[in-house]
Amino acid sequence: MLRLFHTADWHLGHHLHGVSRQLEHQQFLDWLLLELQSKQADALLVAGDIFDSANPSSAAQSQLYDFLVKAKAQQPNLDIVLIGGNHDSASRLDAPSPILNALGVTVVGGLSRDDQGGIDWERLLVPLTNATGQIKTWCGAMPFLRNADLPTARDGGRDCSLQSPAFPPSMEVRSVASGMEPMRPGEQDSDPLISGMKTLYAELFEKLQQKAGNAESLILTGHCYMVNGALSELSERKILGGNQHALPVELFPDDIAYVALGHLHLAQQVGANEHIRYSGSPIPLSFDETDYAHQVVQVDVRSGQPVETVAVKIPRSVQLLRIPNGKDFALLPEVIKQLENLILGDLPIEQRPLLELRIRLEKPEPGLRQQIEEAIAKLPLRLLKISTAYSGSEKSLADMKIEERLEELQPLDVFQRCYQNKYDRETPEMMNALFNELVENLQGRE
């Protein structure tokens, strides 16, 4: 048996509305070290988006390398595999790979090609060993694939899909943009991007088969968006020409024991396939992810048997609060009431909850910020964002049916209609008077 931990989307160096997440990441990494040791893991797979940006800070890089050194020091036989994601710079990840390889850490930031344009497949084929040093699994460490990596892009757009036993023509499917319709035998794939992805995964699978013995299981990694995956729109970039290029599950052959995916921050399996999983991100990277169950996936691989997966919950060191909870908005008095009813412990400032307020306005509130700051002045919170919505339709005048011509309307008419549209009520008389005074003052300057 071989036990591996699957995680992804660390996004080291991330800031949420200007607030650094370094403390949360450090506490996650410290927790992960303990879990790897206590669960006696044989391997750790990190499926992309190691960093939050292609140019990470020195502090973020230090966090990664400090973790790798500590992990190998406490478990010298632990196999560690990191692949690049769409947020990562492939060349930056690959640069220290000679040093990391000497430590027993495999990094595949991106595809490497020789002078003739051929892919260096050997660096993607990683043996994973158990506690006694026996190779039990071969990992095909496929990184995030950019358009330029795909054979269809490199060969002038012609279809280069392989006709291999792993992907018979009857298994071909169209892109999700065209409804994922089954294709008839002999038809070419209608989407060259998906066809190119299939080509590369088919080649990698063939190379893995050549490396592995009969008793050794095969696993794959990937950083991509699969059909029917649940997105977190605020923190996941659209990739591979947009998320309409969702990849079909047929990308992965039936002989693969486990597929470790990254990119989607919500932990989930792909369709009904328990062995094809996103581990999710270790911390919430936006307020939309507040209610996610963050985890790493423990995977036990036994030859000839289905893998066993266990979700290992990650403790949250800093809470993210959204009032009201979910995606609804509430009136200001209700939001303030919920703030007053919060039960919070006394915490150091760097561990205080991060707060977003979602307020529905029925009229202009010039003192909105001041009222909120007064309400939270004595609460151990860090206010990061105030989101507002209005009770009206918020349509522009161009979208409304107006009987009069624009030149027939007075400035006050336009103002009143905008106010009515935004707040779904008549303009107060005092505000009408102030608006008229403003118009008169402007006209008096002409």
Per-run averaged pLDDT (10 residues), the chain, 446 residues: 96 96 97 97 97 96 97 96 95 94 94 86 94 92 91 50 35 33 41 86 93 88 85 57 68 92 94 94 94 95 92 96 90 92 89 94 86 91 90 56 58 78 77 80 70
**Given this model, what pLDDT does residue 233 score?**
55
Total Cβ atoms within 10 A of residue 401: 4
Closest by Cα among 217, 357, 209 to 299 = 217
Sequence-distant contacts of 302-307: CB under 8 A, at least 24 apart: 302/1, 302/217, 303/136, 303/215, 303/216, 303/217, 306/257, 306/274, 306/275, 307/257, 307/258, 307/275
pLDDT of 170 reads: 32
8 & 119 share domain: yes
Q: Domain boundary residue among 373, 391, 409?
A: 391
Q: How much is the pLDDT for 194?
A: 84
Q: In whole angstroms, what separates CA 63 from the centre of its chain?
A: 20
Residues 43 and 125 in one domain: yes
pLDDT of 342-369, one tens digit each? 988 888 999 999 999 999 988 888 889 8
| Predicted local distance difference test score (pLDDT) of residue 69 | 96
Q: Does residue 303 sit in the same domain as residue 369?
A: no
Same domain, 290 and 417: no
Same domain, 338 and 357: yes
- Say if CB 330 and CB 324 are below 8 A apart: yes
Amino acid, res. 84 = G
Torsion sign across C-alpha atoms 401, 406, 408, 411: positive
How many CA atoms lie within 13 Å of 192's alpha carbon, on the beta-carbon side? Answer: 15
Question: Does 287 share its domain with 343?
Answer: no
Q: Which of 376, 391, 406 is the last residue of a domain?
A: 391
How many structural domains are present in the chain? 3
What pLDDT is recorded for position 5? 98
**Boundary-marking domain end, from 313, 337, 370:** 313
- The candidate with the shortest Cα–Cα distance to 156, out of 122, 196, 129, is 196
If asked whether residues 161 and 246 sit together in one domain, one would say yes
With beta carbons less than 8 A apart as the criterion, state whether 250 and 171 touch.
yes
Q: Spell out the residues 6+ positions from residue 104 whose beta carbon is closer than 8 angstroms to its own.
A: 72, 76, 78, 79, 80
* Omega prior to 324 cis, within 30 of 0: yes
Lookup result for tokens 């490497």:
112
| Cβ(439)–Cβ(411) below 8 Å | yes
Do 249 and 359 lie in one domain? The reply is: no
The answer on 409 and 347 residing in a single domain is no
Closest C-alpha among 356, 353, 354, 361 to residue 330: 361
CA dihedral 275, 278, 282, 285 (to 10 degrees): -170
Same domain, 178 and 259: yes
Residue 149 maps to which CATH number? 3.60.21.10
* 327 and 350 inside one domain: yes
User: Measured between alpha carbons, how far is 143 from 62 in angstroms, rounded to an integer?
Assistant: 22
What CATH number is given to the structural domain containing 348? 3.30.160.720
The Cβ of residue 140 has, within 10 Å, a number of other Cβ atoms equal to 24
Distance from C-alpha of 391 to C-alpha of 73, rounded to nearest angstrom: 59
Residues 368 and 258 in one domain: no
Domain, as residue range, for 434: 396-446
pTM for the predicted model, two decimal places: 0.80
Distance CA 165, CA 177 (A): 26
